[in-house]
Amino acid sequence: MKAQGPLKGVKVLEFVGLGPAPFCAMMLADMGADVVRIDRPGAHGGGAAEVLARGRRSISLNMKDAGDLTICRDLIAKAEILIEGFRPGVMERLGLGPDAAFALNPALVYGRMTGWGQTGPLAQAAGHDINYIALTGALDAIGTPDTPVPPLNLVGDFGGGAMYLAFGVLAGLLHARASGEGQVVDAAIVDGATSLMASQHQLAAMGLWHTRRGENLLDGGAPFYGVYRCSDDKHVSIGPLEPQFYALMLELLKIDPATMPASWTGDGWEAARARLAEIFLGRTRDEWCALLEGTDICFAPVLNYEESPLHPHMAERGVYTKIDGVRQAAPAPRFSRTPGAIQGAAPKPGADREAVLADWKVSG
């Protein structure tokens, strides 16, 4: 496919890694960037099932080989953005750290993806999404009153990590193009996930949030912001936070407003939640959809990942697409003039060496 999207022409060099760094590279590729992935010699894989690796080309380089190391440095000299997700110090030991890279390419935006960050007492410790969000307060705030529950790896790896790395390297690219000055982007999941907690810090400052799980406005404590089981053991979600939406919900559910709480303070929440739970148990999920979906009570059925693509709204918007029969999310966000596109399935490691060297004008 011919590259398309608002980042068409941007050269990105990605050192192969796991989780958030590849997801960031995937997003850049979806927006048209020419992302070249450096794989290890002998690596296997490729194909449509490797969704996080879609849309880029691959070259295999052995950093212990003088010739391959020279090629890598030449690629760095031609790149606008570099992405790596190793522990602090690994790239420096390879002779490819920021100082060496800026000597080759002063305008390079050097994106570093880690969990703990480049500095701090834990910088060299191993960890995963669950550990990083545990340190930020995010994990403690999510779950049942009895125990925190990991929210997949969305809050840390992808929300607090990949998204902030993408934001950072693109902000750095704007500065580099205007000034000719590159810089390091230290994207740490503990930083990003803490940033995502901004609204909770605001609510706490206003006296509307406390540390007890399941008793707050947005953590399942409020009866009017939660998930309820239906008679078929499926679930629906409601979120009528605004007074007019809440009033509409009570009207459609035939509940006397005088018998339900109308405040955000927590008064009467437990009894109201029990009453709504009893009401929603009275019908199937589909029956509730027929009555409530599309109204202003802020309602949606809780779908699994197989049901989601079949929902009329998701289908009409084309939220999902397929590559070689593998269903996956289409590029997001959407652009009116320069729409992004999936540039192809994940490459076989090393398959694009000659084409990459030719296009980037690097001798092999």
Which tens digits make up the pLDDT trace of 22-34?
Answer: 999 999 999 999 9
pLDDT of residue 1 exceeding 70? no
Cα separation, 58 vs 36, in Å, equals 6
Alpha helices, DSSP H, located in the chain = 20-30, 66-78, 90-93, 98-104, 129-136, 163-179, 189-196, 198-205, 243-252, 269-280, 285-292, 312-317, 353-359
List pLDDT tens digits, range 101-138.
Answer: 999 999 999 999 999 999 999 999 999 999 999 999 99
- CATH code that applies to domain 235-301: 3.30.1540.10
Q: What's the whole-number average pLDDT of the chain?
A: 96
Label residue 207 exposed, middle or buried (CB < 10 Å: 0-12, 13-18, 19+). Answer: exposed
Average pLDDT over residues 75-100: 97
Q: What's the Cα-to-Cα distance from 255 to each of 198, 261, 275, rounded to whole Å?
A: 35, 11, 10
128 is catalytic: yes
Over the Cα atoms of the chain, what is R_g? 24
Class of domain 11-197+321-359: alpha beta
pLDDT of residue 218 exceeding 80? yes
Nearest to 16 by CA among 289, 347, 357: 347
Q: Would you kindly state where each structural domain of the chain is located, as residue ranges?
A: 11-197+321-359, 235-301
Please tell me the chain's helix, strand, coil percentages from 3-state DSSP, rounded to the nearest 5. Answer: 40, 15, 50
pLDDT of residue 196 exceeding 90? yes
256 is catalytic: no
Q: How confident is the model at residue 288 (pLDDT cuts 50, 70, 90)?
A: very high
List pLDDT tens digits, range 308-352.
Answer: 999 999 999 999 999 999 999 999 999 999 999 999 999 999 999
From 68, 74, 128, 175, the catalytic residue: 128
From 30, 39, 129, 157, the catalytic residue: 157
Question: Global pTM?
Answer: 0.95
